[in-house]
Amino acid sequence: MNAGPQKETANFANGGLATRSDVEFDLESLLLRPAAAEFLALTSSSQAKVDVFGFVHKKTDFSPQQCVDALLADQHRRHRTEDAVPAETYCAFLRNRIGDDSTDFEWQIVAREFLLALKAKDAASNVELKNFCARFPEFQEPLVDLSRSDGLSETLIIDPTCSFQSGHEPTVTLGPTQPVVKDTFARDPDATKLDFDDGDDPDQSSLAYEPDSFVHDQSSLLGGTEPFSQLPPIILEKIEARLEERRFKPDEHLIKEGDVGDGLYFLTDGNVRVLSSDGRNQNQEIARCGAGSILGEMALLTDQPRTASVVASTAVTAQFLPMVVFQELASNHPVIGQVLTQLLAQRLGQQEHDALSGKRFGRYRIVQRLGRGGMAIVYEALDEQSETKVALKMMSHRLVYDANALKLFQNEARLIEAFEHPHIVRMLGRFKAFRSFFIVLEFCDGVSLDHHVRENGPLDATQFRKIMAQLAAALCYAHSKGIVHRDIKPSNVILTSEGNVKLMDFGLAKPVDNGEGNSSRLISGTPRFMAPEQLLGAPPDTQADLFSLGCTAWKLLTGNELITDTRLSDIENRHQNWQLPDMDDLPSEVSDFLQNCLQTDPANRHVDLDAISRW
C-alpha cells in the first residue's frame, strides 16, 4: 500500500481528525492506488456501465482499504453527474462487506464527498457543513475539524429524531409533534422547514429520505419494488434465488390474523384485501394490494403473531420467502432487516385504524391512532386493569436501528417519569414490545393550543392569562428539576376540554448544562420558536425556554407567529437585527412579560415564572 492511503487510514484509525491535506480528492492521487486504477481502467475500456459494487464483490482478495479505493474512484467518476451515488450507499455496502470495523473506511467516503462538494462550490460553505452533519451525526466532530482548515462556521444543525439516509440536500423539520390527544396531527403546523438556502428538493416537509435506489437488472423480480430496490444487486440476487412460487384462488387466505408468521409474500399477479380485527371480532378492511406489493413483514420483524389477514380478491400468484430463509439472509446481511423495517414504519400510523388497532400489549389494548410525528406514533389505548384511557407513544420502527434516536426516546421517559405536576402530561410507564419501545402517558381529552388558535382565533385577555399562568407553572416546575424543555411552542401544549393546559413532548429536553460536562454543539428544536443562543448551539439553559415562551405567547395573543422566516439564514439574520414587536395595545403587565421574554441576550430575560403562575 502506498504512503497516501497508509497515512489516511492511520489518521482515522487513531480517532484523529483529518485535515483537508489528509483526504486526497484529486484524480492523480487515486490513480496511484491499484484497486482504484484497475476500476477506472475498466470503466474507460467498457462501453457498458460498470457496477462498482459488483466489481468489488467479485474481488474476494481485496483488503478493506482496496475496497474503499475502488469506491472512491467510482465516487470521483460519478461526482456531479445524474447517476451520482450518495455516500450513505457506499457506506452501507462497506458495512455489509467489512462489518463492524468499517467506521474508519466509511469516514473516507464521507470526508471525500464533503470536500468534493466544497470544491464544486469553489468556496467554504457553512451550508454544506450543516447538511453533512445532519446526514452523518456519527461523524460530526471530524467534519467540524475537517472544515476548520477553511474557516467554516462551527454552528451545526441536526434533528436527532431523524435518520438521514440519502445524498439529497435535506430539508429538515425540527421538533416533531408527538400528541397525546385526539386531534388532527397529521403534520405539525409549527414545525419550521429549513432548506439550508440552496436545497432544491420539492418536498419541504420530509423528515427523512430513503436511500437512492440501485440500478437493477430488468429481469430482477424485486429490483423495481420498494423497498427492496434499495438493496445492492448482489444481496437481491441471494433473496430471489430462495423464493418459492405459490398460487391462491379467490377468497383464499394468504395470511390469517393470529397465526405465527412463517414468511414474506411478494405479489406478482392478482389482488388481495388486508383485513384487521378491531378487538370486537369485527374485521375492517385496512388496505387493498396488487402486483408488486409486499405482505407479512410485521410478523417477520417483530416475532409477533400475524396482525392482519390477507385474502385473495382474484386469482393470485405470489413469491414466498420462508421465515427460516429470511432469518438466515438477514443475519448475514443486516441491511435486509433495516430496509424491511422502513417499510413497517411507513405502514403503521398512516390512518386512524391500522394493523395495531385492537391489539393487546400486556394490560393495554390499542383503540386507534391519535397522531404520527417524526419520532413516534401515538395511539389511544385502554388500560384493561384500571379501565382507563391512556396514550401509548411508540417509537417509530424506522428508528429502531438508530442508536441516537433510541437514546433520545428513552431519555424522554427517564426525564419525565418522576414528574408530578397538574400541567405536565404524566408518564405512567414504559415497556418494550413489537420490536419497539413504548411510553405510557396520561390521556388528555382536548386539542393543541395551535389547533385551538387556528380554529377560534387569538385568545382573549382572561383566557390568555389563565393559560400562561398554567404554562409558566409547568415550566417553572421542570426548571426546578433541572430540565430544559427546548421545544416550547403552541403545538406542544394541550388545552383540555376543562380549559386547562398540559405541557407535553419532552423528547428534546435536556438537563441544564452546569459547565462540568462536554456540551454538544448540536442543536434541535423548532427554529422559529428558538432563542438565538439555542439556534447557535449554546449549552442547554432555562433562559432559552423563556424566549420560546415569549414566541408562544405572541402566537396565542395575535394568532400569528412572531418569526415567519423559513430559511435558517433569514432566522439568524432576524436575531442579529432583532426588533421587538409593537406592544402598545397590550396591557402593561403582558407587555412587560413579553419584552422580558423576547430579549436576544439571555442575561436580560428577567422573567419570574412563579409570579406569572399566579396570574
d(Cα 354, Cα 367) in Å, to the nearest integer? Answer: 10
The residues spanned by each domain of the chain are 3-156, 228-347, 373-615
**Tens digit of each residue's pLDDT (9 = 90 or more) over 276-301:** 876 566 778 888 989 988 898 877 77
Superfamily the domain 228-347 falls into: Jelly Rolls (2.60.120.10)
The residue ranking higher by pLDDT, 585 or 335, is 585
User: 499, exposed or middle or buried, with CB in 10 Å at 0-12, 13-18, 19+?
Assistant: exposed
Superfamily the domain 373-615 falls into: Transferase(Phosphotransferase) domain 1 (1.10.510.10)
Structure confidence at residue 381 (pLDDT):
92
Nearest of 174, 132, 112 to residue 530 by alpha carbon = 174
Q: How confident is the model at residue 376 (pLDDT cuts 50, 70, 90)?
A: confident
Tell me if domain 228-347 and domain 373-615 are identical in fold: no
Q: How confident is the model at residue 216 (pLDDT cuts 50, 70, 90)?
A: confident
Nearest of 479, 611, 607, 492 to residue 550 by alpha carbon = 607
The residue ranking higher by pLDDT, 148 or 576, is 576
Residue 310 has pLDDT above 50, yes or no: yes
Phi-psi label, residue 279: left if phi above 0, alpha if psi -120 to 50, beta otherwise: left
Structure confidence at residue 122 (pLDDT):
42
Pairing of strands 193-194, 172-173: antiparallel
| Residue pair 184/138 in contact by the 8 Å Cβ criterion | no
Structure confidence at residue 166 (pLDDT):
29
**Quick one: how far is CA 292 from the chain centroid?**
26
| CA 154 vs CA 288, 520, 609: distances in Å | 49, 11, 33
d(Cα 423, Cα 502) in Å, to the nearest integer? Answer: 4
Residue 553 has pLDDT above 60, yes or no: yes
Has this prediction a pTM greater than 0.85? Answer: no
d(Cα 470, Cα 293) in Å, to the nearest integer? Answer: 50
The residue ranking higher by pLDDT, 190 or 407, is 407
In single-letter form, the type of residue at position 422 comes to P
DSSP structural state of residue 102: G
Q: Using DSSP, state whether 245 is helix, strand or coil.
A: strand
**Tens digit of each residue's pLDDT (9 = 90 or more) over 509-536:** 778 865 544 444 445 678 889 999 988 8
Beta-bridge partners for 272: 289, 312
The residue ranking higher by pLDDT, 270 or 378, is 270
Instruction: Tell me the pLDDT of the chain averaged across its residues.
Output: 76
| Residue pair 358/351 in contact by the 8 Å Cβ criterion | no
Q: How many residues does the chain have?
A: 615
Residue 190 has pLDDT above 80, yes or no: no
d(Cα 331, Cα 157) in Å, to the nearest integer? Answer: 34
d(Cα 543, Cα 532) in Å, to the nearest integer? Answer: 11
User: 523, exposed or middle or buried, with CB in 10 Å at 0-12, 13-18, 19+?
Assistant: buried
Q: Cell for 418?
A: 418522576
DSSP string, 136-193: -GGGHHHHHHHHHTTT--------TT----SSS---EE-S-----SSS--SS-TTPPE
**Tens digit of each residue's pLDDT (9 = 90 or more) over 56-108:** 888 888 999 999 999 998 888 887 676 778 888 888 888 888 877 788 888 88
Nearest of 383, 357, 360 to residue 370 by alpha carbon = 357
d(Cα 465, Cα 473) in Å, to the nearest integer? Answer: 12
∠ CA 172-174-179, nearest 5°, is 130
Nearest of 117, 123, 147 to residue 25 by alpha carbon = 117
| Residue pair 93/235 in contact by the 8 Å Cβ criterion | no
